[in-house]
Amino acid sequence: MQQLVLSLFPGIGLLDMAFEAEGFCVVRGPDLLWGGDIRNFHPPAGKFDGVIGGPPCQSFSPIGNVNKARWGENSIMPDTIPEFRRVILEVGPSWWLMENSVRAYAPFNDCHELTLDSAWLGERQARRRRFWSNLRLEVEMPLLVPATSGTERAVSSCGSVDWKGSRARERARTLEDMLELQGFPRDFLAHCPFTKRKAMRAVGNGVPLPMGLAIAKAVKASLRNERGNDNE
């Protein structure tokens, strides 16, 4: 039976695409990018099998802390992990998955934690993200990775230039370059309604497709194992 999944903070749906590719049916919740506000969002209970999402990570980024100190608390997106937790409690799904910066914190005390880097999956980009879930996730890593793995610094995320790289390198990248590093076709946003700057920010804040696929496969495998254990 196909799993019905609610996506929170979906952005332009990069993580959603990975779960859809693995056979999940994803329903997107509100996002500020489209004029929505999760604080006013109250989904029905008992309708979704799972919930996924990546709350904005500006509160946990080094440049975000600099901006806060310089311009005040309202200069960056607020911490919305509590909103993620609230929706989980309202929905009551059998499983959930949250993605964020490695500096973020778990939405619940009793959950599993997994850190991934695109380079570990053999990708050209070095981009590290952390995942939390009530499922125990095991990601299949390639036995061998190409010599070019991790040679490119991460594209912008958390609404800032890449803290690992230089501003000059970041300015030199095009939207098409960023899409390619994130694992998407260079013309993926050819008909995007946003300005190029807004589109680049949306891409930089998203989960790379290879990483998303690895996580979606791990979720599917964990659910399959749980069903198998229930039938024993």
Residue 125 has pLDDT above 70, yes or no: yes
Report the pLDDT value the prediction gives residue 173, as an integer from 0 to 100: 85
Q: Which residue has the higher pLDDT, 164 or 59?
A: 59
- Model confidence band, residue 226 (pLDDT cutoffs 50, 70, 90): confident
Nearest partner of 154 among 207, 115, 197, judged by Cα:
207
Average pLDDT of 41-45? 97
- What are the tens digits of pLDDT across the range 45-90? 999 999 999 998 877 665 655 555 565 665 557 889 999 999 999 9
Determine contact, residues 169/153, Cβ cutoff 8 Å.
Answer: yes
Q: Which residue has the higher pLDDT, 4 or 161?
A: 4
Q: Which amino acid is residue 158, in one-letter code?
A: C
- Share of residues in the chain with pLDDT > 70 (%): 84
CA distance 139 to 145: 15
Cβ neighbours around 195 below 10 Å, total: 9
- What are the tens digits of pLDDT across the range 78-121? 889 999 999 999 999 999 999 999 999 999 999 999 999 999 99
Q: Which amino acid is residue 20, in one-letter code?
A: E
- Model confidence band, residue 167 (pLDDT cutoffs 50, 70, 90): very low
- Would you state the structure tokens that stand for residue 199, as one six-digit string? 């589109």
Phi, psi at 80, each rounded to 5°: -110, 15
Tell me the β-bridge partners of 27. Answer: 6
Report the pLDDT value the prediction gives residue 73, as an integer from 0 to 100: 60
- Would you state the structure tokens that stand for residue 121, as one six-digit string? 């999956």
Report the pLDDT value the prediction gives residue 57, as an integer from 0 to 100: 83
Report the pLDDT value the prediction gives residue 72, as an integer from 0 to 100: 60
Report the pLDDT value the prediction gives residue 74, as an integer from 0 to 100: 59
- Would you state the structure tokens that stand for residue 144, as one six-digit string? 């061998």
Determine contact, residues 185/110, Cβ cutoff 8 Å.
Answer: no
CATH class of the domain defined by 4-231: alpha beta
- What are the tens digits of pLDDT across the range 13-29? 999 999 999 999 999 99
Determine contact, residues 88/107, Cβ cutoff 8 Å.
Answer: yes
Domain boundaries defined on the chain: 4-231
Residue 160 has pLDDT above 50, yes or no: no
- Model confidence band, residue 126 (pLDDT cutoffs 50, 70, 90): very high
Q: Which residue has the higher pLDDT, 11 or 156?
A: 11
Residue 161 has pLDDT above 60, yes or no: no
